[in-house]
Amino acid sequence: MRFHRIVMGCQMNEADASWLSHALIARGWEETSEEDAQVFIVLTCSVREKPEHKVYSVLGRLAPRLGADGFVAVGGCVAQQLGETLWQRFPGVRLVFGTDGTSMVPDALLRLAQHPGRRLSLLDFAEVYPEREGNLPDAVPAQAYVSIMQGCDNFCAYCIVPYTRGRQKSRRAAAVVAECQDLVARGVREITLLGQNVNSFGQDASGDGTSFAALLRQVAAIPGLMRLRFTTSHPKDIAPEVVAAFADLPNLCPHVHLPVQSGSNAVLAAMGRRYTREKYLETVAALRAARPEIALTTDLIVGFPGESAADFADTVRLVEEVGFASGFSFKYSDRPGTRAEKLPFKVPEEEKARRLALLQETLGQCTARDLAAQVGREVEVLVEGQSRSQDGTVPWWMGRDGGGRIVHFPAARANLAGRLVRVQVQESTKHALRGEMMGEPW
């Protein structure tokens, strides 16, 4: 069978999609373009506004492409929410699965291909992390994601994750390290550890008690691993030992995505975030003391129910005070079943839009200052591929520095993808850096 993946949302969906591809190819299936596929795997996300509408649009587009043996599998957070109701609206959908059911999807797809009249749902939550088979190809990209946990126990007032991905379940540390070792042996140079809240890794019934700081040190010690990253961190749980790791582990990239969501203590309390503005700033100071060049990025929500003009002003001031390298900002929107959905004093849509525009302008100014500060520095870049913006006859390449910033540079080389290079930064643009390669790649 020929299959095609359509992935929405977070890096965890990207990691799930990559694993599904490896597993299906190992079973004899072929990954192909949307035009040539018989089976479509759609991984969905509930974070943005009206996410089910986007899913409906994709499924409507795919329906005419399904032949006699074609069908669609829908997974991820929206699939967990809508479940078998998708069958009623879209007859071509024959498999719906939640994140805990992902490990069973490859065999389920094989059964469906053999029995055209069947439909299956894999929506039950597991009590422990469902480990997956390997099936890695001999050659892998230089960068890889490794999921270390599933679900979340925080139940922030606005967040749907505990309801769509279940309660927190950590993998055993030995399984994580073994997967990372396998990836490095196959050529991976940078690994990103993934979880809804990596800082609470191992501290649940499914885990083995290994702390996240201990896991970081175990993975960082793998011979041949050049770079280590992680996401996402809940500010209330980042331990002093994790902060210290940035000073002690040279291959731990100087970058932390630390979602603050709001700069107002009143709004943070209403969100159920369980930290204050002051505590967040203490964490920022500790991270910068441990690794002065660390790049901090964040997530922000504007227009949370009850957010006043003064609350929003606190958020803007916090963004300016921290000086984030970049940030993702969103207008609040209700998610069914969350506590925030029932809160009064909803901010009008036009006011949310006004605040978002102002916040994004402030974030843009912070990003511009951060990029300008890199001019004149020599940075290490892991090359991802050729740059789309070419200049002259020499090919241009792009990659990211340790802080996650995009760097473009010219080099007359056959293929630098997956290689590490040193680049002298010569100028900054609105969203990236440009420079000159120094020395030989490695």
For residue 49, the model assigns a pLDDT of 65
| Digitized pLDDT (tens) for each residue of the chain, 442 residues in all | 999 999 998 888 899 999 999 999 999 999 999 999 999 999 998 876 677 788 999 999 999 989 888 999 999 988 998 899 999 899 999 999 998 999 999 999 999 999 988 999 999 988 888 888 877 777 789 999 999 999 999 999 999 888 888 999 999 999 999 999 999 999 999 999 999 999 999 999 889 999 999 999 999 999 999 999 999 999 999 999 999 999 999 999 999 999 999 999 999 999 999 999 999 999 999 999 999 999 999 999 999 999 999 999 999 999 999 999 999 999 999 988 899 999 999 999 999 999 999 999 999 999 999 999 999 999 999 999 999 877 778 899 999 999 999 999 999 988 999 999 999 999 999 999 999 999 999 9
Could you count the other beta carbons within 10 Å of the beta carbon of residue 407?
A: 25
**pTM score, whole prediction:** 0.91
Spell out the residues 6+ positions from residue 395 whose beta carbon is closer than 8 angstroms to its own: 386, 410, 411, 412, 413
| Pick among 3.40.50.20, 3.30.70.20, 3.30.750.210, 3.40.50.10440: CATH of 138-253 | 3.30.750.210
The tokens describing 341, both together, are 């959905």
Contact call for residues 399 and 383 (beta carbons, < 8 A): yes
In the chain, ranges of CATH 3.30.750.210 domains: 138-253
In the chain, ranges of CATH 3.40.50.12160 domains: 2-122
Distance between CA atoms of 318 and 301, rounded to whole angstroms? 13
Q: Tell whether the torsion through CA atoms of 151, 153, 159 and 163 is positive or negative.
A: positive
**What CATH number belongs to 378-438?**
2.40.50
Which amino acid does the sequence have at 326?
S
In the chain, ranges of CATH 2.40.50 domains: 378-438
Q: What angle do CA 295, 299, 305 make, to 5 degrees?
A: 155
Distance between CA atoms of 182 and 186, rounded to whole angstroms? 6
For residue 287, the model assigns a pLDDT of 98
Distance between CA atoms of 233 and 270, rounded to whole angstroms? 20
Distance between CA atoms of 264 and 233, rounded to whole angstroms? 19
| Pick among 2.40.110.10, 3.40.50.12160, 3.40.47.10, 3.30.43.10: CATH of 2-122 | 3.40.50.12160
